[in-house]
């Protein structure tokens, strides 16, 4: 069932965030991505939502896809050995539209036993286990593994996927979404966006032309790239740079979407030294080729374009709401009366930060 062929794709993306931490239900994001129906071809759609499990916000929420019941039983044995399972349940869905052949969708709320954390920090432990499940536990796939968040994705048009997962019943402070136009037919639910690891989630319109070296660069640090998607590469790069190397987010962004040498040569000496060092050391992490991505994490949302803006992205603000999308129309569809709307420059990140506490 799993597709081991890399599928280049074009896409639609949309994201919204309430910087004050207020939570809204999933219908707005469905309406936004639905407007860009023609940018997808029905072969993949998905959503990431943050703040959806407030009562279990300190537990790792694993959204799982199983090929069949046997795979789930196999996984149940595995998960018991490696985690404390606080709760597990089927992910509620409704039959909808053209959504056919879904895998078995299940979620687990997990804690890690202190005894297992003697030599490794808990997030590192979880990352290792996610890698292990996706590469070694047959028929099982982790579609998201963060706290108080989750990915909802599958094969179909994104708006159909949204209704299928009953997203109007969830409330979150960040919603991102993706409609996929792959140039091949994988027919595999795990291959849809968003891609997530811990609380990182990525939706992505584009093709990373530097995929080959980004993959080999990540492999040097122990990442196993099972999905062969660009999106996976982006998520792992953020995990490596921000979580493991402890880079400030603004520096990680500069590594991924580096300024040109022409610009660096004109910078103030201290900044120039910084940028030169980043390009020297993190050349393998430079994302090259056309992309616009929306990164979600528990404290914010970030939009980023490639170095010469080969893919579209428009942003808008209204009060404490931040919107990002492939098309302005998809923002206007859900908020016609914007305070400000702009197209960020190539390589310039748009950052939304959670100001308050989540309600």
Q: Which residues are catalytic?
A: 11
Number of residues that bind other proteins (CB under 8 A): 49
101 touching other proteins, by CB under 8 A: no
How many Å apart are CA 227 and CA 328, to the nearest integer?
Answer: 31
Question: By CB under 8 A, which span of 63-71, 101-109, 129-137, 209-217 interacts with other proteins?
Answer: 209-217
262 touching other proteins, by CB under 8 A: yes
12 touching other proteins, by CB under 8 A: no
Among 70, 117, 120, 281, which residue interacts with other proteins (rule: CB under 8 A)? 281
Ranges of beta strands (E only) in the chain are 9-18, 24-25, 45-50, 60-66, 84-90, 104-111, 140-144, 149-154, 171-172, 174-182, 195-197, 200-206, 291-297, 300-305, 314-318, 321-325, 340-342, 350-353
209 touching other proteins, by CB under 8 A: yes
308 touching other proteins, by CB under 8 A: yes
How many Å apart are CA 273 and CA 276, to the nearest integer?
Answer: 5
Question: By CB under 8 A, which span of 136-144, 205-213, 313-321, 332-340 interacts with other proteins?
Answer: 205-213
Q: Which residues, including other chains, have CB under 8 Å from residue 143's CB and lie 6 or more apart? A: 63, 64, 65, 151, 153, 189, 190, 196
Query: Which residues is 321 bridged to in the sheet?
Result: 18, 318
Among 84, 104, 310, 351, which residue interacts with other proteins (rule: CB under 8 A)? 310
Nearer to other proteins, 4 or 101 (CB): 4
| Interface with other proteins (CB under 8 A) | 5-6, 8-10, 183, 206-207, 209-213, 215-217, 219-221, 228, 244-248, 250-251, 258, 260-262, 270, 273-274, 277-284, 286, 288-290, 307-308, 310
């Amino acid at each position: 069932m799993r597709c081991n062929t890399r599928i280049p794709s074009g896409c639609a993306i949309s994201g919204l965030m309430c910087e004050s931490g207020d939570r809204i239900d999933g219908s707005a994001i469905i309406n936004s991505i639905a407007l860009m129906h023609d940018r997808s071809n029905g072969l993949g759609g998905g959503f990431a939502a943050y703040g959806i499990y407030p009562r279990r916000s300190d537990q790792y929420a694993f959204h799982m896809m199983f090929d069949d019941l046997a795979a789930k039983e196999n996984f149940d044995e595995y998960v018991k050995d490696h985690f404390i399972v606080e709760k597990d349940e089927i992910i509620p869905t409704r039959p909808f539209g053209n959504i056919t052949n879904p895998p078995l969708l299940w979620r687990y709320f997990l804690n890690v036993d202190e005894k297992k954390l003697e030599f490794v920090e808990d997030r590192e432990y979880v990352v290792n286990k996610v890698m292990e499940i996706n590469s070694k536990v047959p028929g099982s796939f982790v579609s998201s593994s963060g706290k108080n968040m989750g990915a909802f994705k599958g094969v179909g048009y994104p708006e159909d996927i949204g209704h299928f997962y009953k997203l109007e019943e969830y409330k979150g402070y960040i919603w991102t979404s993706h409609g996929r136009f792959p140039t091949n037919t994988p027919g595999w639910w795990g291959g849809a966006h968003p891609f997530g690891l811990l609380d990182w989630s990525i939706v992505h319109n584009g093709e990373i032309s530097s995929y080959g070296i980004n993959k080999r660069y990540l492999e040097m640090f122990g990442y196993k790239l099972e999905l062969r998607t660009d999106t996976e590469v982006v998520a792992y790069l953020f995990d490596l740079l921000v979580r493991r190397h402890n880079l400030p987010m603004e520096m990680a962004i500069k590594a991924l979407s580096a300024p040109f040498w022409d610009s660096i040569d004109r910078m103030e000496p201290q900044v120039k030294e910084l940028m030169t060092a980043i390009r020297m050391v993190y050349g393998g992490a430079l994302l090259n080729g056309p992309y616009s991505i929306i990164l979600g994490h528990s404290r914010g949302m970030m939009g980023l374009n490639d170095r010469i803006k080969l893919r579209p992205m428009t942003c808008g603000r209204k009060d404490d709401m931040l919107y990002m999308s492939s098309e302005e129309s998809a923002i206007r569809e859900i908020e016609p009366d914007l305070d400000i709307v702009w197209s960020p420059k190539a390589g310039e990140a748009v950052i939304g930060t959670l100001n308050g506490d989540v309600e």
